[in-house]
Amino acid sequence: MIYCGIDWAERHHDVALVDEDGELLAKRRICDDAAGYRLLLDLLAEYGDSEHHPIPVAIETSRGLLVAVLRQSTRKVFAINPMAAARYRDRHSVSRKKSDAGDALVLANILRTDMHAHRPLPADSDLAQAVTVLARAQQDATWNRQQHSNQLRSLLREFYPAALDAFATWQNGLCRPEARELLKLAPTPAQAARLTRVQIRSALKRAGRSRGIETEAERLREVFRGDYAHQPQIVEDALGRQMLALIGQLDAACTAADELAKAVEEVFPQHPDAEVITSFPGLGIQLGARVLAEIGDDRGRFADARGLKAYAGSSPVTRASGKKESITRRMVKNDRLNHAGYLWSFAALTASPGAKAHYRRRRDNHGDWHAAAQRNLFNRMIGQLYFCLQNRTPYSEHTAFPTPLAVAA
């Protein structure tokens, strides 16, 4: 049995091959290009790599062209956490010396000694990987949009409270195109106070608003002309210029989030699991795509529902030592899936009577706080999702949350 370890770097990669006894058979440095990838495949083939007997590979990343090349066959690729690799390195050297070639050897020895304790990359389909790329990009764009919105709000509190009062009644507030269009038209409170009804109506129409324009224009005009404190004029103008720069960043973030959301809506429904996922209460196109992006469509990835629950961070962790025992929430988890689960369980409270009853039971009978009750609900529903995906069965409210009378019968 031959094992391969690859120390990944931006410009080059170090490769090491060891046998069952830990003897170094070959080591080589390859470039991060097509020629380097061919050299790696030729090196693996020289030591017996084939379609039926592929050499397993350990590497410290799960993404990139090199990983894509290695995953094109039936080869098992293990993405080893760099922190775990550092702990393995200390087993072989107490002097804490480090080199790229030595790290590649450490990765190869990890597979030689503890391959059974590590999980290979899932064998997801190309469509599932495409959904993963788009869903994660849309999630990042949404977080980025919120970050820019918070920065803009913090700046407006310093010199432009009228804008915050004017947009407070709108859903999504500063992220709305009407708010951004008005702030571009009047970047300072002094300019906003001089806006006419015609200018405000025109800005609302340019932003795409078609209803209630007259009433909204009158309300905005009254707010902008309200009595507020002001910065010195030269300072106010400087802050207005800073705000325009933030508006440009927020515009780009909003556009990126919207375009990626449309891309997810086009790709996700094509996946065979989309129908099962969206049958669950609280899971729509965007949130369902995020769930599929993190769990994939490799049915053998998780041995049972408990593995998926631990991966999502919904199941608790028990720590016991002697007479002491504590049950706490799981800290090591897939943060993206855990975040999607929080939104999923929150939306399910209004979409599913059984989910709401389960949440109230956790709050009233078990004394859970809001977050703990939601996490318990997510833990139950993701177990149900695992069962439905394994059996290709859509969600059933009566099966998921049977009534007490049916349980008694």
Are 242 and 179 in the same domain?
yes
Contacts of 358 (CB under 8 A, 6+ apart): 376, 377, 380, 401
Weakly modelled stretches of the chain, pLDDT under 50: none
Are 12 and 70 in the same domain?
yes
Reference 316, options 324, 306, 305; nearest CA is: 306
Residues of the domain holding 10: 3-121
Are 26 and 69 in the same domain?
yes
Contacts of 251 (CB under 8 A, 6+ apart): 180
Reference 274, options 246, 293, 258, 257; nearest CA is: 293
Strand 57-59 relative to strand 3-7: parallel, antiparallel, unpaired?
parallel
Are 207 and 281 in the same domain?
no
Are 327 and 399 in the same domain?
yes
Residue 129, phi then psi, degrees to nearest 5 = -65, -35
* Cα dihedral value 283, 276, 299, 378, nearest 10: 30
Reference 105, options 92, 118, 120; nearest CA is: 92
Are 354 and 400 in the same domain?
yes
Each residue's pLDDT tens digit, 20-31: 998 999 999 999
Are 259 and 306 in the same domain?
no
Question: In the listed set 234, 266, 298, which residue is the last one of a domain according to the structure?
Answer: 266
Are 403 and 334 in the same domain?
yes
Q: Given this model, what pLDDT does residue 271 score?
A: 96
Domain count, the chain: 3
Are 262 and 134 in the same domain?
yes
Question: In the listed set 121, 145, 163, which residue is the last one of a domain according to the structure?
Answer: 121
CATH classification of the domain holding 22:
3.30.420.10
Contacts of 368 (CB under 8 A, 6+ apart): 362, 376
Q: What 3 state SS string does the chain have?
A: CCEEEEECCCCEEEEEEECCCCCEEEEEEEECCHHHHHHHHHHHHHCCCCCCCCCCEEECCCCCHHHHHHCCCCCCEEECCHHHHHHHHHHHCCCCCCCHHHHHHHHHHHHHHHHHHCCECCCCCHHHHHHHHHHHHHHHHHHHHHHHHHHHHHHHHHHCHHHHHHHCCCCCHHHCHHHHHHHHHCCCHHHHHCCCHHHHHHHHHHCCCCCCHHHHHHHHHHHHCCCCCCCCHHHHHHHHHHHHHHHHHHHHHHHHHHHHHHHHHHHHHHCCCHHHHHCCCCCCHHHHHHHHHHHCCCCCCCCCHHHHHHHHCCCCEEEEECCEEEEECCCCCCHHHHHHHHHHHHHHHHHCHHHHHHHHHHHHCCCCCHHHHHHHHHHHHHHHHHHHHHHCCCCCHHHHCCCHHHHHC
Are 42 and 86 in the same domain?
yes
Question: In the listed set 266, 293, 319, which residue is the last one of a domain according to the structure?
Answer: 266
Give the span between the Cα atoms of 393 and 219, in whole angstroms.
52
Are 165 and 255 in the same domain?
yes
CB count, 10 Å around CB of 27? 17
Give the span between the Cα atoms of 178 and 141, in whole angstroms.
20
Are 101 and 26 in the same domain?
yes
